[in-house]
Structure 1
Amino acid sequence: MRFIKTTEAEGHVICHDIVQIIKGVNKDTIFRKGHVVCKEDIPVLLSVGKDNLYVWEKDDTMYHEDEAAQILYDMCKNDFMKPSEVKEGKIDVIADADGYFKVDIGRLLEVNSLGEMMIATRHSGFPVKKGDKLAGTRIIPLIIEKVKMEKAKRTAGTKPLLEIKPFLHKKVGIITTGNEVLYGRIKDTFGPVIREKLAEYDVDVIGQRIIGDNPRDISDGINEFLSEGANMVICTGGMSVDPDDTTPTAIKDTGAKIISYGAPVLPGAMFLMAYTKENIPIMGLPGCVMYSKRTIFDLVLPRVMSDEPVTKEWLSSLGHGGLCLACEICLFPNCGFGK
């Protein structure tokens, strides 16, 4: 990059966008970075106050910001992603499929700590839709040393910083527990809530069984759904510590491995997560999922729908940010819940 007088710029390549501002009329880029200055451009450049320009000179030790931005994008990109157009040393990473979004936060921090470059992402661990912006990358100066970008590549490693795990088709069985529902003392209002949340994904609800508080009956109902090909079973209710709350016992009696009974999330502390020997998830949902707009279920479901394992360690990590503030106008996931 070289600093020259605009009157001497004919034939040179501009290193940065030139913006024209006319109050109340126009604010727009009149010359894009990379434009080759011709004789007719010089009066226009002078009219917008550009008596001097930075022009590009090829230097084997330096990258132009657009070239370096491509390197940042290459560190991020993975399957089911595409780039935006490069502009002013910036490239956005765009989702090319619906799925569960993951970021390697540790390596991202290392790259951003190098200086003169940045990658800003949306939060890891949340669903994204095709067309969503996943990250923005930018080189801060107009040019950057090649050795610095090589260091950045070594820091990032060979594995992409970002990942989308596409959502899968699932066949779901719903078990509604409680004698009060079985005998018609109250209407089932839990099932419709679960169906509404599942409707956001590629799901077939293969059935809903209303069962009382007998743990053997609940276990039998779960096993029947599994034998019918369900690859997810959701049990609603009966998750507290009262004598009639027998759902946790029933899930355990199926032979499934209990990953966690309880999670540091409000609403949703009495949530249960289990997996069968065939790795089919079984969830026990506490009553709060029925009446609270956002709960532990909203944090777990996208993970389950992409076959991302729900581990005890991950559930434990939800404590920081696991308090829903029950805002009058819910903005989830554009809020702090689960982050």
Structure 2
Amino acid sequence: MKEINTEDAIGHALCHDITQIVKDKVKGVAFKKGHVVKEEDIDILLSLGKDHLYVWEKKEGMLHENEAAIILRDICKNEYMEESDVKEGKIELSASIDGLLKIDIDKLREVNSLGEMMIATRHQNFPVKKGDKLVGTRIIPLIIEEEKMKKAKELCSNGPILSIKPFVHKKVGIVTTGNEVYYGRIKDTFGPVIIEKVKEFDVEVLGQSIVSDDPKNITNSILEFIEKGAEMVLCTGGMSVDPDDKTPKAIKDTGADIVSYGSPVLPGAMMLVSYYKNNDKLIPIMGLPGCVMYAKRTIFDLILPRIMADEKITKDDLSKLGLGGLCLNCDVCHYPNCGFGKGV
């Protein structure tokens, strides 16, 4: 820190707040600590009685908090993101589109472990909307070693920490199974729930087929939707392990590759995820457990955004959902503002 004449302060960073008081009008901070003095600030500072200022004395190998904050921004920011102005070593990033937020967790931990800098994000693998805040970054001290910021850049040399995968348009077919529905003994209440959930995204519902418990009928109905251009097929009913529950077999008989039948999530343990190869396209076929019909949030809510961002769900992806995969069935559901599905 050094004292200099105010007229000579252009380009220097203030080491303290400067207060402005105008009777009956203003009482507050006119210039905050860390503000870099500009030519147009000089007359204002002089009018505040500041003939001299205490400014940061830049030393070789040291960066001002705002300079370093730009580096933090650059190692976080990717396409489809907008940044705030830098202020007191802080910059925030927001989404410029609707999409799925992805975070390189290893990079995030390594940068935060360097000390004197911080990056705080939302949870990954959850949908974000245009304008949603994604991350806040800050340099902790007023000045920081340039070498430390170089290390942060090196850790992220192969790409930013954050990314957003845009949601894509998908055509969806729904296959509802069960003799009780097929023969009109009960009214189907599963289909409307599924349609409401997928309509949160950019989808075209090609239709809903209601078929009997005959596996051949289920298989044929799935394949018919694929022939009509379906890019995702959702099957409801017949997903437990009872002898008369034939949907898993019917999905397998389409020739689809079964990723997993079962997931470490409650509600949603009996979820089936598979992929059918149609020329060069992989079409997800999912068998939805009965809980999706009546529970507020389930495994389907955790997987659907990723499917809509064209992510291929793997067995490892599903295994990781066990941490945080227990819904507490709160009387008032606050999802996604809760811990469900946010273990990793």
Q: Establish whether TM, by shorter chain, passes 0.5.
A: yes
Give a deviation string over 1:280-308, Cα, whole Å, max 9, x none.
00000011000000000000000000111
Ranges in structure 1 where 5+ consecutive residues have no aligned partner? none
Helix, strand or coil: the match of 1:229? coil
- CA–CA separation in structure 2 for the residues paired with 1:41 and 1:97: 41
1:11 maps to which of 8, 16, 35: 8
Amino acid across the alignment from 1:29:
V
2-side partners of 1:126 and 1:63: how far apart? Answer: 35
Cα separation, partners in 2 of 1:14 and 1:78, compared to 1, 3 Å: closer
Structure 2 residue 277 is matched with structure 1 residue 277: yes
Q: Is the 8 A contact 1:69 1:91 kept in 2?
A: yes
CA-to-aligned-CA distance 1:44-102 (integer Å, 9 cap, x gap):
478xxxx9964134444222211111111111111211211111111111111111111
- 1: CA distance between counterparts of 2:340 and 2:231? 28
Q: How many residues matched?
A: 331
Q: Establish whether residue 254 from structure 1 lines up as the match of residue 254 from structure 2.
A: yes
- The structure-2 alpha-carbon separation of the partners of 1:308 and 1:40, relative to structure 1 and needing over 3 Å to count, comes to closer
**Normalization by structure 2: what TM-score?**
0.90
What one-letter code is carried by the residue in structure 1 that aligns with 2:295? Answer: S
Runs of 5+ unmatched residues, structure 2:
none
CA RMSD between the two structures:
2.2
Aligned to 1:287: 290
In terms of mean alpha carbon deviation, does 313-322 or 72-81 score higher? 72-81
Question: Using a 3 Å threshold, how does the CA distance of structure 1 residues 20 and 324 change in structure 2: closer, same or farther?
Answer: farther
Structure 1 residues 16 and 310: CA distance shift in structure 2, 3 A: farther
CA distance 1:45–1:265, change in 2 (3 Å): farther
Q: Report how far residue 15 of structure 1 moved.
A: 2.5
Q: 3-state DSSP class of the match of 2:163? A: strand
Structure 1 length-normalised TM: 0.91
The structural deviation recorded for 1:146 is 1.3
Structure 1 contact 17–88 (Cα < 8 Å) conserved: no
Once the two structures are aligned, what percentage of the paired residues are identical?
62
Aligned to 1:302: 305
Matched, 1:331 2:328: no
Cα distance in 2 between the residues matched to 1:19 and 1:128 = 39
The aligned residue for residue 178 of structure 2 is 178
| Structure 1 segment 312-327 matched on structure 2, within 5 A | 312-327=315-330
Distance 1:17 1:277, change over 3 A: farther
On the 8 A contact 2:84/2:92 being kept in 1, the answer is yes
CA positional deviation for 1:144: 1.3
1:11 is matched by which residue type in structure 2?
D
The letter for the 2-side match of 1:320 is L
Does residue 35 of the first structure (1) align with residue 47 of the second (2)? no
1:1-339 to 2 correspondence within 5 Å? 2-4=1-3, 9-12=6-9, 13-15=12-14, 18=17, 20=19, 28-32=28-32, 33-36=35-38, 38=42, 41=45, 44=48, 54-278=54-278, 279-339=282-342
Secondary structure in 1 matching 2:187: coil
Query: Which letter does structure 2 place at the counterpart of 1:89?
Result: G
1:99 maps to amino acid:
G
Answer whether contact 2:6 2:45 (CA < 8 A) is retained: no
Distance 2:200 2:224 in 1: 25
